[in-house]
Structure 1
Amino acid sequence: MNKETLIEHISKYFKTNGYNIKNLIHKESIGSYEAKQIEESFIHKTWKEIDIKLLIANKSALGFLSNEGFIYFLPAYMKLLILEFEAADVIVDDLLDKLLLPTEADIQLQYIEYKMEENRIADLDDFYHKEIKRTEDKIHNFISMTTLLNQEQSKTVLLFLMYIKDTYSGFFADDILDKVINRFWFQFK
Structure 2
Amino acid sequence: MNHPELVAEITAAFQDEPYPGDLNIVYDNSGFHLECIEIREAFKGHLWQEVPDDVLSAERTGLSFMSKEGFKYYLPAFMCSLLRDSSVVEEGISMVVQLLTLPTEIDIAVMAEKIQRYEVASKLPDVDLNEVLQNQLNYTNKSINTFIARAIQFTPAQGRAIYHFLVYARDEAGDEFLSTEADLAIQRYWFQFE
Q: TM-score scaled to structure 2, two decimals?
A: 0.85
Structure 1: 5+ residue runs without aligned partners? none
Instruction: Kindly provide the amino acid, as one letter, of the partner of residue 156 in structure 2.
Output: Q
AA aligned to 2:160 is K
Amino acid of the structure 2 residue aligned with 1:119: A
Deviates more, 1:127-136 or 1:7-16: 127-136
- Per-residue Cα deviation, 1:2-56 (whole angstroms, up to 9, x for no partner): 1110001111111146633351111387532232121111011111111211011
Matching residue of 1:136 = 141
Runs of 4 or more, structure 1, over 4 Å off, are 120-124
Among 165, 176, 180, the residue aligned to 2:170? 165
Kindly, what percent of the aligned residue pairs are identical? 28
CA change 1:138–1:33 in 2 (3 A) is: closer
1:188 alignment partner in structure 2: 193
Q: What do you get for the CA RMSD once the two structures are aligned?
A: 2.5
User: Measured at CA, do residues 124 and 30 of structure 1 come closer, stay the same or move farther in structure 2, by a change above 3 Å?
Assistant: farther
SS in 2 for 1:81: helix
* Higher helix fraction (1 or 2): 2
After superposition, where does 1:38-117 map in structure 2 within 5 Å? 38-88=39-89, 90-117=91-118
Q: 1:80 to 1:107 in 2, by over 3 A?
A: farther
Q: Compute the displacement of 1:168 (Å).
A: 0.7
- Three-state SS of the structure 1 residue aligned to 2:19 is coil
Q: Check if 1:12 corresponds to 2:12.
A: yes
Equivalent-residue separation in structure 1 for 2:48 and 2:155 (angstroms): 17
Q: Work out the number of aligned pairs and report it.
A: 189
Is the CA contact 1:50–1:76 (under 8 Å) kept in the aligned structure 2? yes
Alpha-carbon displacement from aligned partner over 1:131-183 (angstroms, at most 9, x marks no partner): 11332222222111111110000011000000111111535267211211100
Conservation of the 8 A alpha-carbon contact between 2:25 and 2:67: yes
1:173-184 superposed matches below 5 A: 175-184=180-189
Query: CA, structure 1 residues 29+170, in 2 after alignment: closer, same or farther (shift >3 Å)?
Result: farther
What is the aligned counterpart of 2:121 among 116, 119, 122?
119
Equivalent residue of 1:172, what SS? helix
> Structure 1 pair 25/14, CA: closer, same or farther in 2 (3 Å)?
same
Larger-Rg structure: 2
Give the secondary-structure state (helix, strand or coil) at the position aligned to 1:101: coil
